[in-house]
Amino acid sequence: MNGGLVAFFAESRCPAMDRDTGTDSIATRELHVKVVIPLAGKGTRLRPHTHVTPKPLIEVAGKPVMSYILDDLQAMGAREIVFITGYLKEKIEAYITEEYPSFTAHFVEQKVQDGTAGAVKLARPYIDEDVLILFVDTLFDADLSIIETIEDADGVIWAKEVEDYQRFGVIVNDEQGYMQRIVEKPSEPISKLANIGLYYIRDWELLFEGIDHALAGEPGKGGEYYLTDAFQYMIDRGSRIRTLEVGGWYDCGKPETLLDTNRHLLETGRARRPAPADGVTVHDPVRVEDDVTLADCEIGPNVSIGAGTSIRGSRIRDAIIGHDTSIQDADLHDAMIGDHAVVRGIAGTANLGHHSEVAAE
């Protein structure tokens, strides 16, 4: 299941994509909705990086994936969030507590990985009003202003039209644009609207009734229970859930798509060019943090470099480089290099976790 980067204000693209939002910018408005963010997954497709860093804290274009979501929620006036944690939960809790003290945060551990329905069920003790549910495998542009004005629906499910519909759960609508059902990985093109993991539900009581119904039935693939079955329960009992399309959808779930998302973010406001220096060639867009040493090198396009890193005698393009890493005499592309790594004399692609070292003989 996926989740994402949201844009609340109707007149704006995604604010976090367009500028560096900071946690010291607190919205004066308040949105009366409870937010649920499941974060329990292990992020196996992003190993080795997720061996020590939870997937939501993997950085793209200079900040953790989860920060794009939280910055926008903060700007839109959300105040209370239920985080469903699991793998490396202590790091998630510490980050949120330190970086986002304005939120009333509840942390609930999902001890049994029984799917999206089981995850959201754990938030039940904290839900007493409209609920916004986000999964955090992806970033996306979505106008959430409709949740304050919508009058003709009991909820909204956001979707994105895709050509490779066989890979996704797709939403089948009626003629008025309301969800009828979700079909997982259809062999026939009954719909190309992929379910992306962003939902707003007004009738939260019926939602949790539907979750209980789903959990009482037979599990699906991998022994998991799906939140979409709860939505089907609601629709079968008369709920009207409108389907709306997002403007963009950017995967952060595996290295190659994370690099694509890094490129998109750099091209749409997250770039940060280093000061000019002799012997250093920069091909935009790039993002270079403070305290980075560049010498006799060529970087870009589509490169993000963390603070404290040193790059000498190297060529790097299409890459995310961590903090306090040393790269020397290398020619890298389509690479993800973690923090405190050492790379010397190699050429090609690379996917190295924190504290790794690789050198040509």
Q: What is the CATH number of the domain that holds 116?
A: 3.90.550.10
Q: Does residue 8 fall inside a structural domain? A: no
Residue 16 confidence (pLDDT):
38
Higher pLDDT, 162 or 350: 350
Q: Quick one: which of 309, 292, 314 has its CA closest to 300?
A: 314
Q: What is the Cα–Cα distance from 171 to 185, expressed in whole angstroms?
A: 11
Q: How far is CA 20 from CA 15, 119, 183, in A?
A: 8, 31, 38
Residue 206 confidence (pLDDT):
96
Residue 25 main-chain phi, psi, to 5 deg: -95, 95
Least confident of 11-25, 295-309, 342-356: 11-25
- What is the three-class DSSP state of 115? coil
Mean pLDDT of the chain: 87
Q: Dump pLDDT digits (tens) for 48-88.
A: 888 888 999 999 999 999 999 899 888 888 899 999 998 89
**Cα end-to-end span (Å), the chain:** 42
CA angle 251, 286, 162 (to 5 degrees): 25
The average pLDDT across 254-268 equals 92
Model confidence at 230: pLDDT above 70 = yes
Q: Dump pLDDT digits (tens) for 308-361.
A: 999 999 999 999 999 999 999 999 999 999 999 999 999 999 999 999 999 987
CB of 336 closer than 8 Å to CB of 354: no
Whether 201 and 155 map to the same domain: the answer is yes
Model confidence at 156: pLDDT above 80 = yes
Residue 38: cis peptide before it, omega within 30 degrees of 0 = no
Residue 62 confidence (pLDDT):
93
Whether 299 and 177 map to the same domain: the answer is no
Domain enclosing residue 313, as ranges: 272-359
CB of 336 closer than 8 Å to CB of 352: yes
Whether 35 and 101 map to the same domain: the answer is yes
Rounded to whole angstroms, the maximal C-alpha distance in the chain is 68
Whether 169 and 282 map to the same domain: the answer is no
Cβ neighbours around 297 below 10 Å, total: 22
Residue 13 confidence (pLDDT):
33
Whether 241 and 320 map to the same domain: the answer is no
| Percentage with pLDDT > 90 across the chain | 61
Q: Dump pLDDT digits (tens) for 101-136.
A: 999 999 999 998 888 999 999 999 999 999 999 988
Whether 310 and 188 map to the same domain: the answer is no
Model confidence at 22: pLDDT above 70 = no
Residue 17 confidence (pLDDT):
39
Cβ neighbours around 331 below 10 Å, total: 14
Q: Does residue 9 fall inside a structural domain? A: no
The average pLDDT across 274-300 equals 96
Residue 183 confidence (pLDDT):
84
- What is the three-class DSSP state of 235? helix
CB of 301 closer than 8 Å to CB of 282: no
Q: Dump pLDDT digits (tens) for 240-253.
A: 999 998 888 887 88
Whether 227 and 317 map to the same domain: the answer is no
Q: Quick one: which of 107, 114, 127 has its CA closest to 35?
A: 127
Query: Strand 342-344 vs strand 315-321: parallel, antiparallel, or unpaired?
Result: unpaired
Cα R_g (the chain), whole angstroms: 21
Q: Does residue 122 fall inside a structural domain? A: yes
Final residue of a structural domain among 196, 220, 251 = 251
Q: What CATH number is attached to the domain comprising 319?
A: 2.160.10.10
Whether 230 and 280 map to the same domain: the answer is no
Q: Which helix (H) or strand (E) holds 60?
A: strand 59-60
Q: Quick one: which of 203, 194, 74, 193 has its CA closest to 129?
A: 203
| Percentage with pLDDT > 70 across the chain | 92
Q: What is the Cα–Cα distance from 2 to 266, expressed in whole angstroms?
A: 22
Whether 218 and 303 map to the same domain: the answer is no
Q: Does residue 266 fall inside a structural domain? A: no
Whether 81 and 199 map to the same domain: the answer is yes
Q: Does residue 53 fall inside a structural domain? A: yes
Q: Does residue 10 fall inside a structural domain? A: no
Model confidence at 15: pLDDT above 50 = no
Whether 74 and 168 map to the same domain: the answer is yes
Split at pLDDT 50, 70, 90, the class of 3 is very low
CB of 339 closer than 8 Å to CB of 357: no
Whether 308 and 245 map to the same domain: the answer is no
Q: Does residue 267 fall inside a structural domain? A: no
- What is the three-class DSSP state of 287? strand
Model confidence at 163: pLDDT above 80 = yes
The average pLDDT across 22-47 equals 74
Quote the pTM value: 0.86
Q: Number of structural domains, the chain?
A: 2
Residue 29 confidence (pLDDT):
59
Q: What is the Cα–Cα distance from 84 to 97, expressed in whole angstroms?
A: 14
Q: Does residue 1 fall inside a structural domain? A: no
Sole residue written with tokens 């920069």: 282
